[in-house]
Amino acid sequence: RNEIMKYGYPTMDNLKQLNDHVLAYSNVHKGPLWVCEHLTDYNINFNKSVSRSASKFVPDSSVHPMFRAYNSDFLGSGFDRGHLAAAANHKNSQLAMNDTFYLSNICPQIGKGLNRSKWNELEKRARALARKHTSAHVLTGPLYLPTVIGNEKFVKYKLIGDNNVAVPTHFFKVIVARTQKGGFILES
């Protein structure tokens, strides 16, 4: 875990340290503020005993029930349950992959056009950089950016489900790859 957060914590609020990633949870948005991963050959390489189909989306029992997201919040919402720590980044351990299915690691994402396409391509790019270089640190999170109406700015976002899970207006992903010579490649 120390290696995951080698370059520091964006915030110290509601930290959750899992087997292969660290996140900060938002009780207000009922999802992650950010998720950090350290990708290496070890955690992204396929292990025959690990199966994505054995992992299930589950509420995070470490989050107070009043602030949790539930699968029912996503049902019929028109949004995918989008991983911020990608399941495919944690294929070496069933426990590490299962950890990516906690709803504390999930944000509502548009399926076609984002989660199942461009976002997936970005996740693949992070793994490719980790394979090409020594490793890659990946910081991912939701954004709730303002819109301008007249001369005023407002932060407006959709809420889904009975538990009012916030739908981000945007997402970010920063990938910092460490080279063999000790330098860095930064992509955002």
User: Known catalytic residues?
Assistant: 83
Q: What is the CA radius of gyration of the chain?
A: 17
Element (H, E) at 10: none
How big is the CA angle at 19 (ends 14 and 24), to the nearest 5 degrees? 20
Query: 84, 29 in Cβ contact below 8 A?
Result: no
If 0-12 CB within 10 Å is exposed, 13-18 middle and 19+ buried, where does residue 149 land?
Answer: exposed
Q: Work out the number of other CB atoms within 10 angstroms of the CB of residue 23.
A: 26
If 0-12 CB within 10 Å is exposed, 13-18 middle and 19+ buried, where does residue 146 land?
Answer: exposed
Q: Which amino acid is at 95?
A: L
